[in-house]
């Protein structure tokens, strides 16, 4: 259910239980020696799908708009795109139902039944605060869920989770300030790019992202996981800083390609690192917690970026994001090596 419901995310991307369940499943089904490669190809294939979807979406939207022949119907065009998104979600649900029970870590659950609650157990004890309002119950459910998941973690895992919590929150704050959607909006606003041209740029960005991610596995075997994460993420951060400087479209797009080409190379090694340092029965909980923190961090900063855009100081968002991303890279290298 988490993999199905998790398709619906705030960014339209792979945050939430959707990605956490998949990453935990892949980590469970792979051996440590090949896990980084498999996870890197997982990111590569999903990014290729995003590239194809973006390319198709831009041209489909332009075609439907020309077919309508009126700017007043542009909302209906985007509604049609969301119906296609819903169809893809239904298709994902069908594929999820076709997976076998080998994807479940049954052996770990059997061993841990007497020691800790299973992942399939109810998250909330029946009868708690029945007289409270629905809003209070929702808050209580969230707190109890987080406390229950943290309480299940071992001391060694909890130490890693605390470090990751701080680092991933910083990184998500930076990504939220200059998310891809806001970056594309900045380019369209600064250079007056058409939607179809912008769609082509976005598609190329995701294609470069997919190609570079395929090399993350071999690179991690040479540099180790943490070094791969830092040394690929840092040049991407510098590209974010320089993005507002050029006054030409060509140079700006080159910097955008550098950012997107290197930005996702740390995803596979990061998941492989988490899978290596935590116990198998704790992977889903840890990946769920880290995904939740990344989602929360990415939802805070767009408001600040919007304020800066309204005051013609959009470039400040890129500077602040660069500082946060460098702090994340430095903290990652210092705390986890």
CB 294 within 8 A of CB 15: yes
d(CA 141, CA 125): 10
pLDDT of residue 153: 63
User: For the domain that residue 267 is a member of, what is the CATH number?
Assistant: 1.20.1250.20
SS3 126: coil
d(CA 188, CA 199): 11
Closest by Cα among 267, 287, 305 to 40: 267
For 240, what's the count of Cα atoms within 13 Å in the CB-facing half-sphere?
A: 29
Q: List, in sequence order, the alpha helices (H) in 104-179.
A: 106-111, 134-152, 155-177
Report phi then psi at 294, rounded to 5.
-65, -40
pLDDT of residue 57: 78
CB 206 within 8 A of CB 58: no
CB 43 within 8 A of CB 264: yes
d(CA 65, CA 184): 20
Residue 82 within a domain: yes
Residue 142 within a domain: no
CA torsion angle for 112, 118, 123, 125 (degrees, to 10)? -60
Q: Quote the tokens at residue 257.
A: 């390609």
Can you say how many angstroms the Cα of residue 117 is from the centroid of all Cα atoms in its chain?
Answer: 28
CB atoms closer than 10 angstroms to residue 218: 13
d(CA 239, CA 309): 20
pLDDT one digit per residue (tens) for the chain, 337 residues = 544 454 555 455 555 567 777 888 888 888 888 888 888 888 888 888 877 887 787 778 777 777 766 555 677 777 888 888 888 888 888 888 888 887 776 544 434 444 444 545 444 444 444 444 444 444 454 455 555 655 566 677 777 778 877 888 888 888 878 888 888 888 988 898 887 788 788 888 888 888 888 888 888 888 888 899 899 989 998 999 999 999 999 999 999 999 988 988 888 888 888 888 887 777 777 777 777 777 776 666 677 787 887 888 888 888 988 898 999 889 888 877 6
Residue 114 within a domain: no
Residue 127 within a domain: no
SS3 121: coil
Residue 111 within a domain: no
Residue 180 within a domain: yes
What's the chain's length in residues? 337
Q: Quote the tokens at residue 102.
A: 């080998």
Contacts of 37 (CB under 8 A, 6+ apart): 217, 218, 268
Instruction: Count how many domains the chain has.
Output: 1
Residue 238 within a domain: yes
Q: Quote the tokens at residue 148.
A: 């229950």
pLDDT of residue 266: 86
Residue range(s) defining the domain that contains residue 84: 2-102+148-336
d(CA 59, CA 56): 5
What sign does the CA torsion over 177, 182, 215, 51 have?
positive
Rg (alpha carbons) of the chain, rounded to whole number: 21
d(CA 114, CA 284): 19
Residue 109 within a domain: no
pLDDT of residue 52: 82
């Amino acid at each position: 259910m988490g993999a199905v419901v998790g398709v619906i995310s705030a960014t339209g991307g792979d945050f939430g239980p959707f990605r956490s369940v998949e990453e935990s499943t892949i980590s469970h089904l792979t051996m440590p020696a090949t896990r980084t490669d498999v996870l890197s190809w997982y990111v590569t294939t999903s990014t290729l799908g995003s590239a194809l979807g973006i390319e198709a979406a831009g041209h489909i939207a332009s075609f439907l708009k020309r077919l309508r022949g009126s700017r007043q119907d542009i909302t209906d065009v985007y509604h049609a795109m969301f119906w296609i998104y819903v169809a893809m979600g239904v298709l994902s649900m069908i594929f999820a139902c076709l997976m076998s029970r080998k994807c479940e870590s049954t052996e770990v659950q059997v061993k841990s039944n007497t020691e800790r609650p299973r992942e399939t157990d109810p998250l909330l004890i029946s009868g708690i605060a029945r007289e409270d309002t629905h809003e209070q119950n929702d808050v209580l459910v969230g707190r109890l869920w987080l406390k229950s998941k943290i309480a299940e973690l071992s001391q060694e895992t909890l130490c890693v989770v605390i470090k990751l919590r701080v680092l991933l929150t910083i990184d998500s704050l930076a990504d939220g300030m200059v998310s891809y959607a806001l970056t594309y909006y900045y380019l369209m606003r600064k250079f007056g790019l058409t939607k179809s041209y912008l769609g082509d740029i976005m598609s190329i960005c995701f294609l470069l992202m997919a190609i570079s991610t395929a090399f993350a596995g071999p690179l991690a075997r040479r540099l180790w996981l943490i070094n791969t994460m830092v040394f690929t993420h840092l040049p991407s951060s510098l590209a974010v800083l320089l993005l507002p400087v050029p006054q030409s479209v060509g140079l700006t797009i080159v910097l955008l390609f550098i950012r997107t080409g290197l930005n996702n190379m740390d995803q596979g090694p990061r998941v492989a690192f988490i899978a290596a340092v935590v116990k198998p029965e704790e992977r889903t909980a840890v990946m769920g917690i880290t995904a939740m923190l990344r989602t929360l961090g990415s939802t805070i900063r767009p408001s600040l970026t919007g304020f800066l855009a309204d005051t013609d100081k959009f470039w400040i968002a890129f500077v602040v994001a660069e500082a946060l991303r460098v702090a994340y890279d430095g903290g990652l290298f210092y705390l986890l090596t």
